[in-house]
Amino acid sequence: MNRELFRTTDGEPVTAVTAAEMAAVDRVAVEEFSLGVIQMMEHAGRTLSRVVLGSDADRITVVAGGGGNGGGGLACARHLAARDRLHAVICDRPVDEYVDAPATQQQLLANTGVGLIDATANPESAMTAINDATHIVDALIGYGLTGAPRGIAAELIDTMDSAAPVTSLDLPSGIDATTGEAPGAVVDPETTVTLALPKTGLAPTESRLVCADLGIPPAVYDAAGIDYDHPAGDRFRVDLVGAD
């Protein structure tokens, strides 16, 4: 863990974690403290939507992967649809391949009448929905990235990177959460809404950084061996800057 990489806009240091450390936090939160994954996704999606709704974009396309990052993106899409700002939702796989909490988020969104574009079956429609948007939500790949994005994921990243302004969830898709390296295609967002704690791999980014509170109790961080103090400020989001 590292308290030298990021600070709040008031100068307070904020702990940054590697992918492995964040995975430990998630494991402890679920297995030892019975914190619900759906609950954390809801916090992520709500805060992400608040950040995106702060823009004047009225045609927002959400690009969602099949993991926890994608589940947060799908939760965000519900909030955008409720405010009539959602343009399209693109999935990087058939909807029947979503499992566990992301599958629940997909079904909740479908229950509101929002249709999802399967980019594997309809790549042209997916790319058009990105190019026609006035803002993109990148919820494609989270801290579990291993190696360069491949196949349709790489195509979606390349299209997002040349389209409207992008807000990424947790970290830009294609970035290694620990090192900040990009082994292949990578999104260059305007804003990154990182979850729970900033990842060490975000240090090189030039995007605006917002840290979203997932409702994880301090005891979880203690049990995971993370040196953590909740930064002052808004309960649900804290703006961050790099520590010089």
Q: List pLDDT tens digits, range 69-91.
A: 999 999 999 999 999 999 999 99
Residue 234 has pLDDT above 70, yes or no: no
pLDDT in tens, 88-113: 999 999 999 999 999 999 999 999 99
Q: Which long-range contacts (CB under 8 A, 24 or more apart) does 1-5 make?
A: 1/226, 1/227, 2/200, 3/227, 4/243, 5/198, 5/200, 5/202, 5/203, 5/242, 5/243
d(CA 101, CA 136): 23
CA 106 vs. chain centroid, Å, equals 16
Q: How much of the chain exceeds pLDDT 70, in percent?
A: 94
- CB 214, CB 196: distance < 8 Å: yes
Which of 182, 127, 193 lies closest to 158, judged by CA? 127
pTM score of the predicted model: 0.93
d(CA 55, CA 134): 10
Residue 192 has pLDDT above 90, yes or no: yes
Q: What is the CATH number of the domain that holds 56?
A: 3.40.50.10260
**Half-sphere CA count of 144, side-chain side, radius 13 A:** 12
Name every residue whose Cβ is closer than 8 Å to that of residue 97 and which is 6 or more positions away in sequence.
66
pLDDT in tens, 178-190: 999 999 999 999 9
pLDDT in tens, 111-158: 999 999 999 999 999 999 999 999 999 999 999 988 899 999 999 999
Give the structural domain span for 20.
2-242
Give the pair of three-digit tokens for residue 7. 């600070």
**Total domain count, the chain:** 1
- The DSSP string of 10-69 is TS-EEEEB-HHHHHHHHHHHHHTT---HHHHHHHHHHHHHHHHHTS--SSEEEEE-SSHH
- pLDDT confidence of residue 60: 97
Give the pair of three-digit tokens for residue 218. 């301090």
Sort strands 2-8 and 13-16 into parallel, antiparallel or unpaired. antiparallel
